Structure 1
């Protein structure tokens, strides 16, 4: 399959919102009307059915894709435009590779909208991040290690999305560039982590298919909004 044709295949910039964090109606409107391609709802902790439904309903007022990253069965909510199922590639804990996923499918597999569901192969590279601590990710990887993981995920496992995640810090763009070079042409490369201004967004956009902007929404809304145009400019130059 050419994943460029998938429901997420044309995304260049997305905002990721955490159901466990507060966002005002005014800030949410600015984010949803910014020109971003989609809103991903998801978080590493504190995600519940109730706060996920609430945030989805608020985003639904706007005409853009709203998708769920299913990190816990407590937050598995129907009615999204799409679903991402994370698989942590750089952990030795099997429950984060296929354990929790198969547990969820035993309970909800009959109801999964498969045409709107895609696996994300996460490579978590900030050892201090909540996601790294919870999953036991080995974040002490160099570029050669990351390339090996990307080749495994993209060329052997044929995962549709490879997600380079530095959650909470801005990553090494040389590593991201190496990941880009190792990718099979059908997989999409997402980058997230530490993007708190337009310049960092532009740097990531030079290598990633999709740039994910998260925490800065809650700390500096103006800077978050500026990342949309920065990614668009880089992507236009690449086209």
Structure 2
């Protein structure tokens, strides 16, 4: 199951703390996207995560949890993505909270379903950037160095460039992609229509689309075809 991440070109990221009607969720899940990531920076609870998982499970596509709060970890997902913020100024977000989780729940952790993500947060004004005390002012060469160190020294299978609410510097993203080999490069942030989706797809391996789902679903759905290059008709 872990190897499936290397086939993903487009994924939708759904926030348990935000609402979608049944019809909207159906459109997302039948859009042709490769997977659903469930996660958010705030307001994520066990109850709202369980509810969203149960609704997504009606559809046949991978559903994975990006763990942001130990109290909101729910069994039943296909995989569990564990963010490790590479450019944080606070080691709690790189390894501190992770070691706490292992100490408390190590005997319960399904290690064969766990995938670490090397997060590089590049919007310092975002909720995630503020919370994790990330240095969001990295140059392209510095970001690439973080990514290469994560791949070579930490064997991370995913590097996630997170601009969280703003469209990023595609030249920086391209530089990071050139610096790594087998590690999968995820891009997220500000993908708001087909054109931004195409730009992100040209310089990353996997494009993550999130916020636009809740503000303009038709534009969000257009990003699938833009990234995957398929002619899809959405009912």
- TM-score, structure 1 normalization: 0.94
Instruction: Answer yes or no: is 1:220 the counterpart of 2:216.
Output: yes
How far did residue 88 of structure 1 move?
0.3
Partners of 2:4 and 2:75 in 1: CA distance: 17
Is this contact kept in 2: 1:7–1:116, CA < 8 A? Answer: no
Is 1:162 aligned to residue 155 of structure 2?
no
Match of residue 58 from structure 1: 55
Q: Residue 141 of structure 2 aligns with which residue?
A: 144
* Deviation at residue 109 of structure 1 after TM alignment: 1.6
Partner of 1:237: none
Which residue pairs with 2:122 in the alignment? 125
Instruction: Check if 1:92 corresponds to 2:109.
Output: no
Give 1:100 shift: 0.6
**Is it true that 1:114 corresponds to 2:121 in the alignment?**
no
State the distance in 1 between where 2:109 and 2:90 align.
Answer: 25
- Residue equivalent to 1:201: 197
Q: After superposition, what is the alpha-carbon deviation per residue over 1:184-225, rounded to whole angstroms, capped at 9, x for unaligned?
A: x22100000000001111111112111000000000000000
| Moved segments of 4+, more than 3 Å | none
Distance 2:166 2:200 in 1: 13
Distance, in Å, in 2 between the alignment partners of 1:194 and 1:153 is 24
- The size of the alignment, in residue pairs, is 230
How far apart, in 2, do the equivalents of 1:168 and 1:73 lie?
24
Which moved further from structure 2: 55-64 or 103-112? Answer: 103-112
1:92 CA drift (Å):
1.8
SS at match of 1:181: helix
Show CA shifts across 1:12-33 (max 9, x none).
1000000011111111000000
C-alpha deviation, 1:7, in angstroms: 2.8
Q: Which residue of 1 aligns with 2:233?
A: none
Measure, in 1, the Cα distance between the counterparts of 2:4 and 2:50: 21
Kindly report the root-mean-square deviation, in angstroms, between the aligned alpha carbons of the 2 structures: 1.3
Answer with 126-135 or 101-110: which moved more.
101-110
Looking at structure 2, the residues matched to 39 and 110 of structure 1 have their Cα atoms a distance apart, in angstroms, of 27
Q: What secondary structure does 1:71 align onto?
A: coil
CA distance in 1, matches of 2:57, 2:26: 11
Q: Which runs of 5+ in 2 are unaligned?
A: 231-235
Q: What is the SS of the residue equivalent to 2:5?
A: coil
